[in-house]
């Protein structure tokens, strides 16, 4: 019987958060399943196994949490991300209503107008921080308006969301430091973001109306409301920033995109593949299960390493190369299957509109300074100062 290779490698050190890719390559070499002894986790580092696990919720359950730390996993059981059908189906159908692909048409003019304004201003300025000045703009203005939160919350949203992501790894110092902000966020969701203070036309209010119609339990509303905030901000901000950094480093690809705008959707996929903002989530096995010929016992927690699968040389030839003609629509950065990112159409719209406007106005990006984000659940840049040469 094949044995499972084990390693005490730590995917949550500062250097691993900045550059996990050499570790991922070693894990892919070791086998289809590798035991991460530090966190009692079985990691799936290869594309095919991550994809198969994501699309088999009956065996790979989300209902016992999808993070690393057992305490956080126990606390978050029952939220959309951490549930299985049929409960998951009911929550997701209410949550996903305003995020459906056919609803994006209504949002497009507003997002285009905002993108137009911000890109024109930044190109005029010539030098700016992509994170704070460009990437944060659409998620922070448009999305917060759509959710319809009371004004003071908007200033805090980003800090709250980043704190929640920091609890998604092991119970380390980063997670401990995030706890007060997480608590504040939960209190806000339960006590302040309620009918009477939220915009009656916003997405948050629509959840409470769905509860009134009996579609979801009313006590679920605060947690489901958090699903509009926590996963929608930093993920998209990181994706936009990573995309600009990749185009700055690969000017030939920027020239290609400027000449042929039909490449924009492929460029978004290629950027997400190469620099996945959410490197992993986990599942728990509901039954004994064989992965690539290796038997795993029911109850094992299995980490789906999206960021590693997306660079698997078995699936993507020359995986480290940024190539917007590659068309990697099958990447894992939004997950797959039952829990595939419910906000992906919005994220694609925001990134796509920004790329359109930038392609109209920018000939070259030149990176001056950058700083990595150190976060337990996310990966990307925290700061990216560029100089742009106008078109
Ligand atoms: C580029 C940006 C984004 C990335 C990379 C991303 C990534 C992901 C990933 C990997 C998952 C799968 C979870 C799993 O496998 O368990 C997911 C689920 C989810 N995402 Fe996103 N996301 C992005 C943008 C957004 C936006 C804009 C929203 C909301 C407006 C959002 C809301 C959600 C929610 C609620 C889920 C849970 C879905 C479920 O469990 O059924 N995401 N996302």
Q: What distance lies between CA 368 and its chain's CA centroid?
A: 26
Residue whose token pair is 């925290």: 382
pLDDT of residue 213: 96
* C-beta of 139 in contact with ligand 1 (< 6 A): no
Question: With contact defined as beta carbons under 8 Å apart, do 43 and 33 qualify?
Answer: yes
pLDDT for 378 equals 98
Q: What SS3 class is residue 363?
A: strand
Cβ(258)–Cβ(359) under 8 Å?
A: yes
**pLDDT tens readout for residues 211-267:** 999 999 999 999 999 989 999 999 999 999 999 999 999 999 999 999 999 999 999
Evaluated on CA atoms 12, 17, 21, 22, the torsion sign reads: negative
pLDDT tens-digit series, residues 99-126: 999 999 999 999 999 999 999 999 999 9
CATH code 1.10.630.10 for 6-390: yes
Ligand 1 atom closest to Cα of residue 99: 30
Alpha carbon distance 165, 237 (integer Å): 14
Instruction: Please compute the mean of the pLDDT values over residues 339-348 and round it to a whole number.
Output: 97
> What distance in angstroms lies between residue 192's CA and the mean position of ligand 1's atoms?
24
Q: Which residue has a Cα nearest atom 39 of ligand 1?
A: 339
- Residues 6 or more apart whose CB falls under 8 angstroms from that of 382 comprise 131, 371, 372, 373, 374
In 3-state terms, the chain is what percent helix, strand and coil (to 5)? 55, 15, 30
Measured CA to CA, the distance from residue 44 to residue 345 in angstroms comes to: 27
State the chain's mean pLDDT as an integer. Answer: 96
Burial of residue 243 (CB within 10 Å: 0-12, 13-18, 19+) is: buried
The alpha-carbon radius of gyration of the chain (Å, integer) is 21
Q: Which atom of ligand 1 is nearest to the CA of 92?
A: 41
Give the start-to-end residue ranges of the domains of the chain.
6-390
CA distance 225 to 94: 11
Read off the pLDDT of each residue in 34-49 and give the average, rounded to a whole number.
97
Looking up tokens 């920004």, which residue turns up? 354
Asked if 332 and 269 touch (Cβ cutoff 8 Å), the reply is: no
**In what helix (H) or strand (E) does residue 282 lie, and over which residues does it extend?**
strand 280-285
pLDDT tens figures, 345-358? 999 999 999 999 99
Tell me: pLDDT of 35 over 90.
yes
Residue 92 Cβ contacting ligand 1 at under 6 Å: yes
pLDDT band at 1; cut points 50, 70, 90: low
**Which tops the pLDDT comparison, 142 or 297?**
297
For the stretch 275-318, pLDDT in tens is 999 999 999 999 999 998 899 999 999 999 999 999 999 999 99
Closest-CA residue to 205 (of 172, 175, 228, 171):
228
> How far, in Å, is the centroid of ligand 1 from the Cα of 368?
31
pLDDT band at 150 (very low <50, low <70, confident <90, very high): confident
Sign of CA dihedral 103, 109, 112, 114: negative
Query: What is the tens place of the pLDDT at every residue in 169-228?
Result: 999 999 999 999 999 999 999 999 999 999 999 999 999 999 999 999 999 999 999 989
Tell whether the model's pLDDT for residue 151 goes beyond 90. no
Q: Whole-angstrom Cα distance, residue 328 to residue 291?
A: 24
In this prediction the pTM is: 0.97
- Determine the average pLDDT of the residues in 11-29: 98
Q: Which residue has the tokens 């401990």?
A: 176
């Amino acid at each position: 019987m094949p044995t499972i290779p084990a390693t005490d490698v730590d995917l949550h050190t500062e250097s691993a958060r900045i550059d996990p890719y050499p570790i991922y390559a070693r894990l892919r070499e070791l086998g289809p399943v590798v035991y991460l002894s530090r966190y009692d986790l079985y990691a799936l580092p290869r594309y095919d196994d991550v994809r198969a696990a994501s699309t088999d919720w009956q065996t790979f359950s989300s209902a016992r949490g999808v993070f690393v730390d057992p305490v956080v996993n126990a606390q978050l059981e029952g939220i959309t991300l951490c549930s299985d059908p049929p409960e998951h189906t009911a929550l997701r159908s209410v949550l996903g209503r305003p995020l459906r692909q056919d609803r994006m048409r209504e949002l497009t003019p507003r997002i285009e107008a905002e993108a137009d304004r911000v890109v024109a201003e930044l190109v005029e300025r010539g030098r700016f921080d992509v994170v704070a000045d460009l990437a944060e703009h659409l998620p922070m203005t448009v999305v917060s308006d759509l959710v319809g939160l009371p004004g003071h919350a908007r200033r805090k949203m980003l800090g709250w969301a980043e704190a929640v992501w920091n609890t998604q790894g092991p119970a380390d110092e980063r997670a401990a430091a995030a706890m007060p902000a997480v608590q504040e966020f939960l209190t806000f969701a339960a006590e302040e973001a309620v009918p009477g203070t939220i915009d009656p036309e916003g997405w948050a209010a629509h959840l409470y109306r769905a509860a009134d119609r009996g579609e979801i339990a009313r006590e679920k509303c605060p947690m489901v409301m958090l699903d509009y905030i926590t996963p929608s901000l930093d993920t998209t901000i990181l994706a936009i920033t990573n995309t600009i950094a990749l185009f700055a480093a690969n000017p030939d690809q920027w020239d290609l995109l400027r000449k042929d705008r039909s490449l924009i959707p492929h460029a978004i996929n290629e950027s997400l593949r190469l620099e996945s903002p959410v490197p992993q989530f986990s599942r728990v096995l509901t039954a004994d299960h064989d992965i690539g010929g290796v038997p795993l016992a029911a109850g094992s927690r299995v980490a789906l390493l999206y960021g590693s699968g997306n660079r698997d040389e078995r699936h993507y030839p020359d995986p480290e190369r940024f190539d917007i003609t590659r068309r990697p629509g099958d990447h894992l950065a939004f997950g797959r299957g039952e829990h595939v990112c419910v906000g992906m159409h919005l994220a694609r719209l925001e990134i796509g509109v920004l790329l359109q406007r930038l392609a109209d106005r920018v000939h070259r990006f030149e990176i001056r300074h950058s700083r990595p984000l150190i976060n337990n659940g996310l990966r990307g840049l925290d700061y990216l100062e560029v100089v742009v040469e106008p078109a």
